[in-house]
Amino acid sequence: MQGPAGSGAPRTPQATPISAQSRAVDQLANLPYWLIFILLAGILLIYLYSSNETYVTALGRILNGVVVTIYVTAISYISALILGLAAGLGRVSKNKVIYNVATLYVQVIRGVPILVQLLFWAFVIVPLVIDGVNALGQWLTPILGDPNALTTVRSRDIDFTLRCIIALAFAYGGYEAETFRAGIESIGRGQMEAARSLGMSYPQAMRYVVLPQAIRRVLPPLGNDLISMLKDSSLVSALGVRDMTQEARLYASASFRYIETYTTLAFMYLVLTLILSAVVRFVETRWKQM
C-alpha cells in the first residue's frame, strides 16, 4: 500500500505541471500565426480606412467590381468542370478519334499562357466565328428570304465579359480534364470489370461506379482550381472587363493613389480566397463523410 502510493504520489504532481506546461507550449506553437498576421493586417487596414479618405474611396471603387469577379469566376468554373469532365472522359476513351481530339485540346491549352488565350479568343476566334455566321447568313438569304436572319450579328454583340468567360472556361477545362483523367485512372480496373460483368454498358459503369469514386478523390485539386480561377479572373482586366482589378487600375491611374488602391485590391483578393478555401474545406469534409 505504502510502496505504490509513495512512489506514485511524488510523480503525479510533478508530471501534471510539466504536461500542462508542455501542452500550453504545444498549443502556442501550433497557433495559426499566419491567420493572426492576416487579421492584424486587416485591422491595420480598417484603421487606415477610418483615418484616410483615399482608402475608403479606393475600396468603394474596387467593390464595384466584386460582382463581376465572382460572376466571371463562377460561370467560368462551372463551364470548365463540364468541359473538363467531357475532355477527361475523352482522354481515357478507347475511341481513337475522341481520344485524339481530347488530347489535342489539353495539350494546346496547357501550352499557351492563359492571358494569351484570353486575347486569342477575344480577338481571333470570336470575330472569325462571327464572320463565319454572317457569311453563312449571306449565303442562306435567298433560301430564308429574310435578309436579316443571320447577317446582323455584329462583333460588338458578343461582349468582352462573355469572351473572357469562354476563354477562362476552355483554359481551365484543359486543366480539369487532366484532373478528372487522373481520378478515373486511380480507380482500379476491377471496378469497371465488375460493373461490366454485371451487364452494365460502359457509360453506365462510368456514371454509377467509376465517376462517383473518382470525383470524390479529385475534390481537393478541384477545390484548389476554384481558388486559382478566382485569382486568374483578374486577367480579364486586360480586356477592359470591369472586375475588381480593372476598377482598381482605372481608379489608380486617375487618382495616382497607387499604394492605397493596390493594397486594398490585394487584400480584397486575399479575403475572397480565404473565404473560398474555408468553403472548399467544408465541402471536402462533408463529402468525405458521405
Partner 1 sequence: MSSATGPIVSIQDVHKHFGNVHALRGVSIDVVKGQVLVVIGPSGCGKSTLLRSINGLETIDSGRVIVDGTVIDSQHKNINTVRAEVGMVFQQFNLFPHLTVLENLTLAQTKVRKRNAEESKQIAHDLLKKVRIPEKAQNYPAQLSGGQQQRVAIARALAMNPKVMLFDEPTSALDPEMINEVLDVMLDLAREGMTMLVVSHEMGFARNAASNVIFMEAGQIIAKGPPRELFDNPSNERMRQFLSKILH
Please give the residue ranges that form the binding site for partner 1 (CB under 8 A).
Answer: 188, 190-191, 193-201, 204, 208-209, 212-213, 216
Range 122-146 burial, b when 16+ CB lie within 10 A, else e: beeebeeebeeebeebeeeeeeeee
CA geometry: angle 175, 181, 187, nearest 5 deg: 145
- Report the distance separating Cα 136 and Cα 172, nearest Å: 31
Q: Are 283 and 220 in contact, with CB atoms under 8 Å apart?
A: no
- Nearer to partner 1 among residue 147 and residue 212 (C-beta): 212
- Nearer to partner 1 among residue 152 and residue 201 (C-beta): 201
- Report the distance separating Cα 184 and Cα 181, nearest Å: 5
Provide the grid cell at 271.
Answer: 479575403
- Report the distance separating Cα 120 and Cα 22, nearest Å: 59
Query: In a 3-state reduction of DSSP, which class is residue 152?
Result: coil
In the complex, least distance from residue 89 CB atom to partner 1, rounded to whole angstroms: 18
In the complex, least distance from residue 221 CB atom to partner 1, rounded to whole angstroms: 19
- Nearer to partner 1 among residue 22 and residue 197 (C-beta): 197
In the complex, least distance from residue 188 CB atom to partner 1, rounded to whole angstroms: 8
- Nearer to partner 1 among residue 142 and residue 190 (C-beta): 190
Backbone angles phi, psi at 149, to 5 degrees: -55, -50
Q: Which helix (H) or strand (E) holds 209?
A: none
In the complex, least distance from residue 114 CB atom to partner 1, rounded to whole angstroms: 34
Amino acid at 146: D
User: At what angle are helices 53-63 and 258-289 packed, to 10 degrees?
Assistant: 50
In the complex, least distance from residue 198 CB atom to partner 1, rounded to whole angstroms: 4
In the complex, least distance from residue 190 CB atom to partner 1, rounded to whole angstroms: 4
Question: Among all chains, which residue has been given the C-alpha cell 457509360?
Answer: 203
In the complex, least distance from residue 202 CB atom to partner 1, rounded to whole angstroms: 9
Provide the grid cell at 85.
Answer: 469532365
Taking alpha carbons only, the member of 178, 171, 181 closest to residue 108 is 171
- Nearer to partner 1 among residue 52 and residue 191 (C-beta): 191
- Report the distance separating Cα 112 and Cα 42, nearest Å: 36
In the complex, least distance from residue 11 CB atom to partner 1, rounded to whole angstroms: 42
- Nearer to partner 1 among residue 32 and residue 190 (C-beta): 190
- Nearer to partner 1 among residue 132 and residue 220 (C-beta): 220
- Nearer to partner 1 among residue 212 and residue 240 (C-beta): 212
